[in-house]
Amino acid sequence: MQIKSDHTVSANRERVWEHLTDAELLSQCIPGCEELKATGGGTYEATIKVGVAGIKGTYKGTVRLENMQPPSAYRLMVEGKSTIGFLKGACDFRLEEAKPDETKVGLNGELAVGGKLARVGQRIIGSAAKMTIGQFFKQINKLAATDTDS
Amino acid sequence: MATMAGPSRLIGAPIKRREDPRLVQGLSHYVDDIKLVNMHHCTFLRSDYAHADIKSIDTEAAENLSGVVKVITGVDIQGKVGSIPCAAEIEGLKVPDHPALAVDRVRFVGEPIAAVVATDPYVARDALDLIEVEYDELPTVVDLDDAIESDSTVIYDEFGDNIAFTMPLDAGDVDAAFAEADHVVSQRFVNQRLIPNSIEPRGVLAEYLPGEGTLTVWSSTQVPHHLKTILSLLLDLPEQLVRVIAPEVGGGFGSKLNVYPEEAVVAYLATELRKPVKWIEKRSEGFTTTIHGRDQVDYVDMAVKNDGTITALRAKLLANMGAYHQLLTPIIPVLTYLMMPGAYKISNIKLELIGVFTNKMATDAYRGAGRPEATHIIERMVDLAAQKLGMDPKEIRFKNFPQPDEFPLEMATGVTYDSGNYQMSFNKALDTVDYANLRTRQAELRSQGRYLGIGVATYAEICGMGPSVGVAGGGWESSTVRIERTGKVTVLTGVSPHGQGQETSFAQIVADEYGISIDDIVVIHGDTGRQPQGIGTFGSRATAVGGAALIIATQQVKEKMAQIAAHMLEANVDDLVFEDGNIFVQGSPDSAVTFADVAATAHVAVNLPPDVEPGLEATHFFEPSNFTYPFGAHISIVEVDPETGEIDLQRYVAVDDCGNIINPLLVDGQVHGGIAQGLGQAMYEGAVYDENGQLLTGSFMDYAIPKATQVPRFETEHTTTPSPVNPLGVKGVGEAGTIASSPCLVNAVVDALSPFGVTDIDMPMTPNRVWQAIQDAQ
Amino acid sequence: MIASSFEYFAPTSVDEALSLLSEHGDDAKILAGGHSLIPAMKLRLAEPAVLIDIQRVEGLKGISESDGKLVIGALATHHELESSDLVNRTLPILAQTAGEIGDVQVRNKGTIGGSLSHADPAADWPATILALDADLKIVGSGGERVVKATDFFEELYTTALEADEILTEIHVSIPDGNTTGTYLKLHQVASGFALTGVAAVLSKSGDVCENIAVGITGVSDVPYRASEVESALAGRALTADNIAAAAEKAADGVDILEDIHASEAYRSNLAKVYTRRAIEGAAS
Ligand SMILES: Cc1cc2nc3c(=O)[nH]c(=O)nc-3n(C[C@H](O)[C@H](O)[C@H](O)COP(=O)(O)OP(=O)(O)OC[C@H]3O[C@@H](n4cnc5c(N)ncnc54)[C@H](O)[C@@H]3O)c2cc1C
């Protein structure tokens, strides 16, 4: 499944880059992130509770940042597994300075899901992914903007 | 010979099913209703990946869960449970090893990896979530066309490619016929993958008695006798000590004509633990791991003359085997191959059938098994040819039917059609719908911007599965008739009905022969301990083969009874009549002996004629000389809403010729169910896998089977052309409805949309597909 | 299909239910008709540790008329709404919507409150509730509040309801005799849910459309009011051409769903065709 979206964050590109790539800040922005532990080489072990409504699963897996080109681009790889299936994604993040203190982030990637998640959830996975990404950027926006203020 | 019976009262009568009272009252017993003392419960952990190496399996946490008795993986049963077998014999067929639990690699989503046994079913389920499997994902093979490309990922390294077998045919002079054709029509067809959904899922209960060494297995199966033999081989147990019981079976449609890993594993666990072990399939498991049906991509060309004569057919058939062969997997598309000419005389045929491995669940027999695919191809091609020639679909069919006096008719594919009168059934269908008027009405509506479609399908199919040369595992059937001391009759049959109604129809056959009440007859089936020999119910064979065995056994016992009665009456055997529970000399009903008295005499055995043994029992094995070839004509009328693609199915007329009819209610029931399933394929059903081999239609929320409110009233009619290959003159009707209805409905929708330039639509014809076809044609 | 184990409570009052909710927090789920929650639990997609079954809370039941409003208890079943004389007399579009939901068994057990709280993007009620400008009464530990239907549906399966709140009533103004409505739906054949469902409610004076509200479900992540359609038609004559032109805007500005049952293009087409037909139905 294709993931393609554009987001605007009210902060300058360096600050947004920092929020998108720093483990501590990331863990605050990833919806449902319960743990994010760096294991070196841009790889993190993660425990994330994701889902919609009552249909939430706890996924354990890895998050990896690759092709780092600060502050303009990188690739995010996610792999997670729960009792209801697995998900695996690769997404290119592209950061562009739109205005001073405003950054456009473009996402372009692929998400694959498997197991029961795919068997019974096909109609909502795309929407759920979109919603989760939306929440993520809402949080980034909030944090990045708060930082700017302070 | 004493074959005189009273007037036939029951054969041909619409007797209500004797099975139904217990079914509708919930008084019958399915596998899950059977509970044994100390019974344990089994669940299976299944692969979430379509293709992956198993790096490790950690079962420790599951084993430590309170109530868990045992957890096994593929490694634990290596050498103890044999490879799940395939009975197909095809030249050059590649047969992969099929372990009951995957050992180091998984090849489809749902493949069993581990089994848990616990003291209660909830614990057994909870334990599954505690098993940790680490996989190394491999590239998947999901698309049929791609799978046979040379650069495709190969599922079995040892085979070198994904081609399980190829089967060519070159009959007549196809190249010349195409060279001389006035027109050639070509089309690619996708016969989509279907998921059988019998109302009762699969289930197995096994009990092993170590002292006696006996293994008893209750399984929701269509083939208890095959299962008995195969389980004894898989577990290395003496076959005489294995008994398989198919209790009430809630439907199968071919999906239970198989031997599954779960059957072997549960039986193994029962022997190992010395405790009864039960597994009941969950519906969501069934979607991924009970065999699927159909799944072909067919490339077809047809050569026609201007007058509508079909001169040649050429096709490449790609048939999806899935990841492993189940019992008959490769055989199913062979039936497509054999039936390619359908109801038409086509002497030049060139075929290439290719069986293809993919990372999906195995396909196998599903109602119609290979013939719906053949019928779809030929019936669509005939319509396409008619469209090209500007000919009415009716005319082109009459033009190419064989004449009734040409039967038995040898076809270019090597089969010989037993009997037929295709003109008769088609004419009856055309008259029923008033075809000429319908076409006028269609033209009127079109001028008002309304799109009525008339779909026609005239089919011939192959069933009555026998003789043995054509049926893996044996094409015969066995029936036993025993008259008890009280004069009650026990019928034991090797067929294994699971909805077909043979407890009723077989009793009708016997009641007529003996001139006794149907209430005095009990038909017993589905238990290898009671009827030691048999094959099972599939391929519309139960009456044509099992019924034939039964009538002969019935007559054998009758002959003996007549000898005893003649002795009692001091009469001549040839003068006796069996009527109303009495046996008497024709014309002298007043000095009769009762049927029950004769039975008692046979058992008491003090007043028997010389050389007559005590008892009244006979077993007969019947193997037909040929298959049977039912045929018929279906017509459907639809109206399509071009704005939304919705299809309104307004009328459905089926004229089927299944030879002689024992019970018209049962026949109509089979036709109704069959059409509903064909309609399901035409309009609603389709398994969807994504590019990674994940099944996306894993529940009834996404996989649509037709519901009662979604099927129209069916109008059923019959013509009767007896089959010469069995003594009852019957052919079989279990699958005809499915075989004819999907092309009939597609033809109707394409006919409705022909003003838009639509020439074909893939199934299922969802509103989205229909709407898209209109957009694409414009 | 065996659910994970859970604790079960059956309170008999709203207060009791609320205190259970605040006690168990995120682990708890309200159980109404169970026709969305239980299937998810059986598949272990949802594994709530605590179920608070509100079916014995009398205060959440019933359908009545008060102050020119229809007051629908959250526990009113689809069947009750379909068959109620009061509903059929005052707001027949509600009965019509109920009749389109699932099958008899689903309608006998499923509740309007459960459906709205669950907020399935293809559920039927949201379309009609939006078109009728309903008010949703919600209580929580912090007290009672009223949320307008147009503010209730926030995201996919996400509503204005907080985790510790319960939807108690749905209030709908009973319109005058000039107002008519129609709900039309194309069923996704497998699930029965809406591939597209359109509720059109309008009032007219002569041929002219005075007010119009169109609620659409099944087309996007969140059910929505087709405001472009409404503004294109309000104050204009209800001619076939005007209706058709307005209906063309049915999917304007929304993110359209795509799944194995319907492509984006097809859903967009359905939204337009069904909107046109629903308005024509309401106008006729
Ligand atoms: C086979 C099938 C077909 C269906 N077809 C359709 C259809 O065509 N159209 C359609 O619209 N729906 C359909 N449904 C869904 C059905 O209408 C459900 O009944 C409805 O979505 C949920 O209502 P419920 O009372 O069953 O809620 P439940 O399943 O009990 O609960 C659903 C969710 O809402 C929460 N909840 C319930 N009540 C409240 C409340 N008062 N306050 C706060 N939270 C609450 C629960 O905690 C849960 O998260 C179908 C369901 C099935 C099983």
Residue C253 contacts residue C186 (beta carbons within 8 Å): no
Question: Buried b / exposed e across C47-86, counting CB within 10 Å, b at 16+?
Answer: bbebbbbbbebebbbebeeeeebbbbbbbbbbbbbbebeb
Task: Concatenate the DSSP letters of all residues of B557-622 into one string.
Answer: HHHHHHHHHHHHHT--GGGEEEETTEEEETT-TTS-EEHHHHHHHHHH-SSPPTT--SS-EEEEEE
* HEC-encoded secondary structure of A58-123: EEEEEEEEEEEECCCEEEEEEEEEECCEEEEEEEEEEEEEEECCEEEEEEEEEEEEECHHHHHHHH
Best residue among C13, C36, C167 to mutate for probing ligand 1's pocket (most ligand atoms within 8 Å of CB) is C36
Label residues A77-94 b or e (16+ Cβ within 10 Å = b).
bbbbbbbbbbbbbbbbbe
* Number of structural domains found in chain C: 3
As a whole number, mean pLDDT of residues C203-213 equals 96
Q: Find residues 72-131 of chain B whose CB sits inside 8 Å of chain A.
A: 109, 129
| Domain boundaries defined on chain A | 2-149
Decide if C49 touches B, using CB distance below 8 A. no
List the domain range (segments joined by +) for residue C28: 7-53
**Domain endpoint, select from C151, C173, C195:** C173
Residue B577 has pLDDT above 60, yes or no: yes
Whether B48 contacts chain A with CB within 8 A: yes
Residue C70 and residue C46 share a domain = no
Helix axes A116-149, A13-21, angle to 10 degrees: 140
The hierarchical CATH code for the domain A2-149 is: 3.30.530.20
Please determine, for residue A150, whether its predicted confidence score (pLDDT) is greater than 50.
no
H-run or E-run covering B311: strand B310-322
The answer to whether residues C185 and C270 belong to one domain is: yes
Single-letter code of the amino acid located at B134? E
Q: Could you read off the pLDDT of B418-432 as tens digits, one per residue?
A: 999 999 999 999 999
Decide: residue C119, CB within 10 A, 0-12 exposed, 13-18 middle, 19+ buried.
buried
- Predicted confidence (pLDDT) per residue in C10-54, tens digit: 999 999 999 999 999 888 999 999 999 999 999 998 899 999 999
- Model pLDDT for residues C58-90, shown as the tens digit of each residue: 999 999 999 999 999 999 999 999 999 999 999
Same structural domain for residues C104 and C49? Answer: no
Same domain, yes or no, for C21 and C82? no
Residue nearest to atom 17 of ligand 1 (CA): C110
CB of B302 within 8 A of CB of B381?
A: yes
- Minimum mean pLDDT range among A81-85, B165-169, B632-636: A81-85
- The CATH number of the domain holding residue C18 is 3.30.43.10
Model pLDDT, residue B650: 97
Tokens 């203020």 map to which residue? A149
Distance from C-alpha of B504 to C-alpha of B519, rounded to nearest angstrom:
10
Residue C207 has pLDDT above 60, yes or no: yes
Same domain, C23 and C125: no
C40 to A116, B743, C37: CA distances (angstroms): 11, 37, 5
Q: Among B749, B761, B736, B762, which Cα is nearest to B649's?
A: B749
Residue of C51, C155, C191, C195 for testing the chain A interface, max A β-carbons within 10 Å: C155
Mean pLDDT value of segment B177-191:
98
Tell me the Cα Rg of chain B: 28
User: A99 CB near a chain C CB, below 8 Å?
Assistant: no
Residue to mutate (ligand 1; options C18, C21, C37, C96; most atoms within 8 A of CB): C37
The yes-or-no verdict on residue B5 having pLDDT over 70 is no
Ligand 1 mean position, distance from CA B738 (Å)? 36
At B712-731, the pLDDT tens digits run 999 999 999 999 999 999 99
| Backbone phi, psi, residue B766, to 5° | -70, 160
Mean pLDDT on C161-170: 96
- pLDDT, residue C105, reads 95
What's the pLDDT at B2?
41
- C1, C4, C103 member nearest B284 (Cβ): C1
| Cβ contact B459:B379 at 8 Å | yes
CATH number of the CATH domain containing C130: 3.30.465.10
Overall average pLDDT of the B493-519 stretch = 97
The burial class, CB within 10 Å (0-12 / 13-18 / 19+), for C33 is buried
CB B655 within 8 A of CB B718: yes
Interchain proximity B710–C189, CB inside 8 Å:
yes
What is the mean predicted confidence (pLDDT) over A33-49? 91
pTM score, whole prediction: 0.96
- Show residues of chain A in contact with B49, CB under 8 Å: 114
Domains and CATH numbers, chain B: 20-27+467-622 (3.30.365.10), 401-410+417-463+628-778 (3.30.365.10)
List the one residue out of B81, B110, B115, B114 whose CA is nearest residue B98. B81
Residue A148 has pLDDT above 60, yes or no: no
Q: Supply the CATH number for residue C223's domain.
A: 3.30.390.50
pLDDT of residue B8: 63
Q: Which residue would you say has higher pLDDT here, B658 or A30?
A: B658
B278 HSE (CA, 13 A, CB side): 21
What's the pLDDT score for residue C240? 97
C49 and C111 belong to one structural domain: no
Q: For chain B, give the percent of residues with pLDDT over 90.
A: 98
Work out the mean pLDDT of chain B and round it to a whole number: 97
- A50, A32 contact by CB (below 8 A): yes
pLDDT of residue B693: 97
What is the helix (H) or strand (E) element at residue B394, kind and residue range?
helix B393-400
Mean pLDDT computed over B242-267:
98
Q: Does residue C183 sit in the same domain as residue C169?
A: no
Say if C1 falls within a structural domain.
no
Tens digits of residue pLDDT in B55-69? 999 999 999 999 999
d(CA B674, CA C103): 24
The chain A residues in contact with chain B (CB within 8 A) are 83, 85-86, 112-116, 118-120, 122-123
* pLDDT value, residue C134: 98
Confidence of residue C220 (pLDDT cuts 50, 70, 90): very high
Interface membership of A56 toward C (CB under 8 Å): yes
Q: Domain check: are C195 and C279 in the same one? A: yes
Chains in contact with chain C (at least 3 beta-carbon pairs closer than 8 A): A, B
Mean pLDDT estimate for chain C = 96
Rounded to an integer, the average pLDDT of C134-160 is 96
Residue B86 pLDDT? 97
**Residue C31: inside a domain, yes or no?**
yes
Q: Among C14, C22, C118, C217, which is best to mutate for testing ligand 1, by the most ligand atoms less than 8 A from CB?
A: C118
Q: Express each pLDDT in B543-553 by its tens digit.
A: 999 999 999 99
Judge whether residue B1 has pLDDT over 60.
no
Answer whether residue B213 shows pLDDT above 70: yes
Subunits with at least 3 CB pairs below 8 A relative to chain B? Answer: A, C
Q: Which of C157, C173, C189 is the last residue of a domain?
A: C173
Q: How confident is the model at residue A147 (pLDDT cuts 50, 70, 90)?
A: low
Q: Does A109 touch chain C (CB under 8 A)?
A: no
| Token reading at A123 | 């109609």
Asked, for residue C2, whether it belongs to a domain, the answer is no
